[in-house]
């Protein structure tokens, strides 16, 4: 599902849209333009990596409305807003709702390309994060309840002896569980284990 | 001439009376017969006079009767003086005195003369003529005039008959009485005297009323500062009242020709005045024309002239009479008012431009942004070895187009802000609406307002100033946008239509989905300083109405059935009903 990232451009002004698209393509990006938010939503695939360059003022569904709609669908695609007028209240709203950047037209290539690069990086990071989490979750599901318990204690920093005492078993059993769960999770050390759990956002409940 | 005939008539009557008195007092036969002979002269004058008078006074009557009456009378007179005893008697045998009406008068007896019948015939012809005249006039005249017919003609007829009958009876010896035709003559004299007196009295009365009405008219004209004039078309001379003379700057009392009057009019207006006069002479309408008269002090007087033609029986124009009035003050006030409207419209436009400045800036940033991105893209592409010239050319085309677009937006803004004299162009309302909408596109986008436009094709062209009409459309659209500020985003719809109205006129409607106009404000919404907005003066709709009405149109507002309001204005097609 992942491939090279796409820059989605949504702007109702045809000539401006063409100009931006050309500029981005000339810098090597893959660009898919849309003339309206509705068109974009129709064919939106949240699995496609990439970011969104979005005009703020559009008839019908405007930029801010589209931002809300995407967030309602659970999409975390980074959005860069473009606007012909620097309206403070709109920019604050946009940023509070998670926009990556808020640029004014006319926009120079360095500003735009930097913003897009940043957005794509954020998107890549977020995806990596999500993938890691998903992977962890998958592996977590392969752990036995005992192994999960041991994991909790290990991540809490307890020694094998203490864990054995907590669980009412012997140290050797604890060591066995430890090596099993480390193998299942694909980590080689406690440090790596802690790091993995951290990245995954913590130990899942249950 | 009628009076001359009447004088002859009366003289003849007097002469006859004189002879009759002489006869009555004659003491000898020769005295009697002399008088009897001479009487025929005054009788001739009497006959000729009565016949001519009837003819001249009434204007009708058969000529042959006149000739016959006078002719036979002439024959009788000739016979009268040619024969020794006259035409009345062949011979007078004797005279004697009788008692008559308490007086002693002389009467004669003798043998009647057959030639006397010629004389009698003449008298009867006079009678016949009088009857002819009377009847003909009676038939032709209106009822008020008919009295004259029987009083004058009838009395002459009666006199003739009575005279003939009586003198015949005396001559034939049937009755004993002096000749009395002059007595009978009193009847027509009385009748004619009464008629003449009547005429004189009536003439005096009419002349008094005429003088009064002239005085009234003069007073009225003076009060209104009107100059009056009468143009005698055939003679091409114009009578001018003092005021008119003043207006036209004629130094001395004079009756100029139409051409001379035109020379006092401003050269640029002469053709129009000439045309208006021609139209008033030949067409249905009265004269109504405005023109300038140059003043000595390097200024002009504005004059309005109105006139009406009088025709004769056949309808040929004989005279034109009219008034002229100095309307310089009015004209100046009009020009003042118009320039003030201009100023106000300009200020309002500037206010509108400033209200829209945000979205106008946006409107400019679109093409500018596109140009920048395109140019920068092009630079990158040129840095590659595989640059495609066709693609590059496409980019340049876009840049050029965007530049033009930006220039147009600037041009429209400039025309909004510029203060200029109103133009009178022939324009298409659809284009005006489209231009106005382009200026607010960004505003609509910002507010998330969906725009629905329906501009009918083949609308009649309209005469007017495009800047001012655009201003009206802008004003209505901005009002609609403001009205929908609180409407939920999904239902913000603005409808703008341009379509055909009655009689080829063009109607523009702007409809919003806002809360509508408050019912208590609905009929005042175009008045000054009425506004529901927090900002602004409340002058926008007032100025819009003034502009629309100055273009000969009407503007009105109403609420939609469920929600929202519509403001619509109608403009007449070019060539009809321009203000």
Query: Is the CB of residue B371 less than 8 Å away from at least one CB of chain A?
Result: yes
Of B376, B378, B445, the CB nearest to A57: B445
Q: pTM for the whole thing?
A: 0.52
With beta carbons under 8 A apart, name residues in chain B contacting A26: 376-378, 380-381
Give the tokens for residue B82.
Answer: 């040619």
With beta carbons under 8 A apart, name residues in chain A contacting B407: none
**Sign of the four-CA dihedral B22, B24, B29, B35:** positive
* Interface contact B380-A58, CB threshold 8 A: no
Mutation pick from B361, B371, B373, B489 vs chain A, by most beta carbons of A within 10 Å, is B373
Q: How far apart are CA A11 and CA A18, in angstroms?
A: 9
* Residues in contact with B248: Cβ distance below 8 Å, sequence separation at least 6, in sequence order: B240, B261, B264, B293
Q: How far apart are CA B422 and CA B536, in angstroms?
A: 24
Q: How far apart are CA B73 and CA B168, in angstroms?
A: 16
| Residue B579: per-residue pLDDT | 42
* Interface contact B376-A108, CB threshold 8 A: yes
| Residue B430: per-residue pLDDT | 92
Averages of pLDDT over runs of 10 residues in chain B (579 residues) are 82 85 81 81 85 82 84 84 76 77 77 79 84 81 74 82 82 75 81 81 89 84 84 88 86 85 89 90 86 83 90 81 90 82 81 79 86 93 88 92 89 79 86 88 78 90 90 90 84 92 90 87 77 66 87 90 90 67
Checking B179-184 for CB contacts under 8 A at 24+ apart, the result is B179/B20, B179/B23, B179/B39, B180/B20, B181/B16, B181/B20, B181/B43, B182/B13, B182/B14, B182/B16, B182/B17, B182/B20, B184/B158, B184/B159
Residues 396-435 of B with CB under 8 A from A: 398, 401-402, 405
**How many helices (H) and strands (E) in chain A?**
9, 5
Q: How far apart are CA B463 and CA B483, in angstroms?
A: 31
| Residue B534: per-residue pLDDT | 60
| Residue B577: per-residue pLDDT | 45
* Interface contact A19-B370, CB threshold 8 A: yes
| Residue B435: per-residue pLDDT | 87
How far does the CA of residue B364 sit from the closest CA of chain A (Å)? 8
* Interface contact B365-A58, CB threshold 8 A: no
| φ and ψ of A187, to 5 deg | -115, 155
* Interface contact B361-A84, CB threshold 8 A: yes
* Interface contact A84-B363, CB threshold 8 A: yes
Give the tokens for residue B388.
Answer: 């495609």
Q: How far apart are CA B357 and CA B344, in angstroms?
A: 19
Query: Is the CB of residue B493 less than 8 Å away from at least one CB of chain A?
Result: no
How far does the CA of residue A206 sit from the closest CA of chain B (Å)? 44
Of B358, B373, B444, the CB nearest to A23: B373
| φ and ψ of B84, to 5 deg | -70, -30
Place of tokens 């603005």: B494
Q: Where are the beta strands (DSSP E) in B57-187?
A: 89-100, 103-112
Q: How far apart are CA B565 and CA B516, in angstroms?
A: 5
Query: Is the CB of residue B311 less than 8 Å away from at least one CB of chain A?
Result: no
DSSP three-state, residue B140: helix
Q: Mean pLDDT over residues A107-135, rounded?
A: 91
Q: Which of A159, A150, A161 is nearest to A185 (CA)?
A: A150
How far does the CA of residue B362 sit from the closest CA of chain A (Å)? 4
| Residue B452: per-residue pLDDT | 92
In chain A, the residue whose alpha carbon lies closest to the alpha carbon of B368 is A106
Place of tokens 């333009």: A33
CA distances from B398 to A16, A31, B403, B463, B527 (A): 10, 19, 8, 36, 47
Q: How far apart are CA B482 and CA B487, in angstroms?
A: 10
* Interface contact A19-B373, CB threshold 8 A: yes
- Give a three-class secondary structure readout of B546-574: HHHHHCCCEEEEEECCCCCEEEEEEECCC
| Count of pairs with CB atoms under 8 A, one residue in A, one in B | 107
Give the tokens for residue B67.
Answer: 């000739």
CA distances from B110 to B116, B174, B420, B478 (A): 13, 12, 115, 125
Mutation pick from A23, A67, A103, A116 vs chain B, by most beta carbons of B within 10 Å, is A23
DSSP three-state, residue A31: strand
What is the helix (H) or strand (E) element at residue B511, kind and residue range?
strand B506-511
* Interface contact A27-B448, CB threshold 8 A: no
In chain B, the residue whose alpha carbon lies closest to the alpha carbon of A29 is B377
Place of tokens 């609420």: B559
Q: How far apart are CA B283 and CA B302, in angstroms?
A: 25
Burial of B383 (0-12, 13-18, 19+ CB in 10 A): exposed
How far does the CA of residue B476 sit from the closest CA of chain A (Å)? 19
Mutation pick from B369, B390, B396, B488 vs chain A, by most beta carbons of A within 10 Å, is B369
C-beta separation of B504 from B553 below 8 A: no
Report DSSP state, residue B422. Answer: P
* Residues in contact with B269: Cβ distance below 8 Å, sequence separation at least 6, in sequence order: B291, B292
Question: What are A160-190's pLDDT values in tens digits?
Answer: 888 888 888 888 888 888 888 888 888 888 8
With beta carbons under 8 A apart, name residues in chain A contacting B363: 84
Q: How far apart are CA A27 and CA B89, in angstroms?
A: 154
C-beta separation of B144 from B118 below 8 A: no
C-beta separation of B211 from B42 below 8 A: no
In chain A, the residue whose alpha carbon lies closest to the alpha carbon of B489 is A60
β-pairing, A6-10 vs A50-55, is parallel
With beta carbons under 8 A apart, name residues in chain A contacting B365: 84-85, 104-106
Q: Which of A54, A71, A70, A68 is nearest to A12 (CA)?
A: A54
Q: Which of A60, A49, A47 is nearest to A10 (CA)?
A: A60
How far does the CA of residue A24 sit from the closest CA of chain B (Å)? 7
With beta carbons under 8 A apart, name residues in chain A contacting B378: 22, 26
Max intra-chain CA distance, chain A: 74
* Interface contact B377-A85, CB threshold 8 A: no
Burial of B191 (0-12, 13-18, 19+ CB in 10 A): buried
Residues in chain B: 579
Give, to the nearest 10 degrees, the angle between helix A171-185 and helix A145-155: 90
* Interface contact A20-B367, CB threshold 8 A: no
Of A16, A20, A59, the CB nearest to B444: A59
B557: β partners? B567
Number of other CB atoms surrounding residue B370 within 10 Å: 30
Query: Is the CB of residue B392 less than 8 Å away from at least one CB of chain A?
Result: no
Question: What are A26-37's pLDDT values in tens digits?
Answer: 999 999 999 999
Q: How far apart are CA A30 and CA A61, in angstroms?
A: 25
In chain A, the residue whose alpha carbon lies closest to the alpha carbon of B363 is A84
Q: Which of B177, B198, B163 is nearest to B13 (CA)?
A: B163
Q: How far apart are CA B128 and CA B136, in angstroms?
A: 12
Report DSSP state, residue B387. Answer: -
Please, what is the end-to-end C-alpha distance for chain B in angstroms?
A: 61
Of A22, A58, A62, the CB nearest to B374: A22
C-beta separation of A196 from A187 below 8 A: yes
Query: Is the CB of residue B357 less than 8 Å away from at least one CB of chain A?
Result: no
Q: How far apart are CA B550 and CA B579, in angstroms?
A: 6
């Amino acid at each position: 599902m992942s491939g090279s990232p796409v820059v989605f451009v949504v702007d109702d002004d045809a000539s401006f849209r063409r100009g931006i698209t050309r500029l981005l393509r000339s810098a090597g990006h893959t660009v898919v333009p849309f003339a309206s938010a509705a068109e974009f939503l129709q064919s939106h695939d949240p699995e496609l990596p990439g970011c969104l360059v979005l005009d703020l003022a559009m008839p019908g569904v405007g930029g801010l409305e589209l931002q809300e709609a995407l967030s309602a669908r659970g999409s975390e695609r980074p959005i860069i807003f473009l606007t012909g007028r620097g309206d403070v209240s709109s920019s604050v709203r946009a940023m509070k709702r998670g926009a990556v950047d808020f640029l004014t037209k006319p926009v120079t290539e360095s500003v735009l390309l930097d913003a897009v690069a940043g957005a794509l990086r954020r998107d890549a990071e977020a995806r990596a994060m999500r993938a890691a989490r998903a992977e962890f979750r998958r592996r977590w599901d392969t752990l036995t309840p005992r192994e999960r318990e041991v994991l909790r204690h290990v991540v809490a920093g307890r020694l094998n002896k203490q864990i054995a005492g907590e669980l009412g078993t012997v140290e050797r059993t604890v060591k066995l569980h430890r090596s099993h769960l480390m193998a299942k999770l694909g980590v080689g050390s406690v440090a790596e284990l802690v790091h993995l759990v951290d990245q995954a956002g913590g130990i899942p409940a249950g | 001439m009628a009076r001359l005939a009447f004088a002859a008539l009366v003289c003849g009557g007097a002469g006859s009376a004189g002879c009759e008195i002489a006869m009555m007092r004659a003491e000898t036969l020769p005295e009697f017969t002399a008088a009897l002979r001479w009487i025929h002269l005054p009788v001739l004058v009497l006959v000729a006079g009565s016949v001519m008078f009837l003819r001249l006074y009434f204007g009708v009557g058969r000529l042959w009767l006149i000739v016959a009456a006078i002719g036979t009378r002439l024959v009788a007179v000739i016979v009268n003086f040619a024969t020794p005893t006259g035409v009345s008697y062949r011979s007078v045998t004797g005279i004697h005195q009788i008692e008559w009406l308490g007086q002693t008068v002389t009467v004669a007896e003798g043998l009647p003369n057959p030639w006397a019948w010629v004389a009698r015939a003449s008298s009867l012809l006079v009678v016949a003529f009088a009857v002819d005249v009377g009847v003909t006039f009676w038939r032709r005249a209106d009822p008020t005039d008919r009295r004259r017919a029987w009083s004058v003609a009838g009395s002459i007829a009666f006199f003739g008959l009575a005279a003939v009958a009586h003198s015949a009876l005396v001559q034939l010896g049937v009755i004993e009485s002096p000749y009395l035709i002059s007595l009978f003559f009193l009847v027509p004299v009385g009748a004619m005297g009464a008629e003449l007196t009547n005429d004189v009295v009536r003439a005096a009365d009419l002349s008094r009323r005429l003088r009064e009405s002239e005085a009234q008219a003069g007073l009225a004209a003076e009060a209104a500062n009107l100059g009056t004039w009468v143009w005698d078309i055939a003679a091409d001379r114009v009578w001018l009242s003092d005021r008119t003379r003043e207006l036209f700057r004629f130094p001395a009392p004079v009756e100029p020709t139409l051409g001379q009057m035109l020379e006092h009019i401003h050269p640029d207006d002469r053709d129009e005045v000439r045309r208006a006069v021609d139209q008033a002479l030949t067409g249905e309408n009265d004269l109504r024309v405005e023109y300038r008269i140059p003043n000595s002090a390097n200024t002009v007087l504005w004059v309005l002239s109105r006139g009406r033609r009088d025709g004769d029986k056949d309808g040929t124009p004989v005279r034109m009479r009219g008034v002229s009035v100095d309307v310089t003050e009015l004209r100046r006030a009009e020009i003042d008012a118009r320039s003030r409207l201009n100023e106000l419209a300009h200020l309002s436009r500037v206010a509108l431009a400033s209200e829209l400045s945000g979205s106008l800036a946006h409107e400019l940033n679109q093409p500018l942004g596109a140009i920048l991105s395109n140019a920068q893209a092009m630079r990158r592409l040129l840095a590659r070895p595989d640059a495609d010239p066709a693609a590059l050319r496409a980019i340049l085309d876009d840049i050029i187009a965007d530049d033009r677009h930006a220039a147009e937006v600037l041009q429209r803004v400039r025309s909004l802000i510029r203060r200029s004299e109103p133009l009178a162009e022939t324009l298409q309302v659809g284009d005006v609406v489209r231009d106005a909408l382009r200026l607010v596109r960004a505003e609509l986008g910002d507010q998330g307002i969906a725009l629905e436009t329906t501009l009918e094709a083949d609308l009649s062209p309209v005469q007017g100033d495009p800047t001012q009409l655009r201003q009206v459309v802008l004003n209505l659209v901005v009002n609609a946008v403001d009205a929908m500020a609180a409407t939920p985003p999904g239902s913000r719809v603005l409808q703008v239509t341009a379509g055909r109205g009655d009689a080829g006129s063009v109607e523009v409607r702007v409809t919003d989905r806002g809360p509508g106009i408050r019912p208590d404000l609905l009929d005042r919404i175009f008045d000054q300083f009425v506004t529901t907005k927090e900002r602004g003066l409340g002058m926008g709709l007032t100025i819009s109405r003034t502009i629309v009405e100055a273009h000969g149109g009407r503007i009105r507002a109403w609420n939609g059935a469920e929600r929202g309001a519509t403001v619509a204005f109608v403009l007449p097609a070019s060539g009809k009903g321009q203000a």
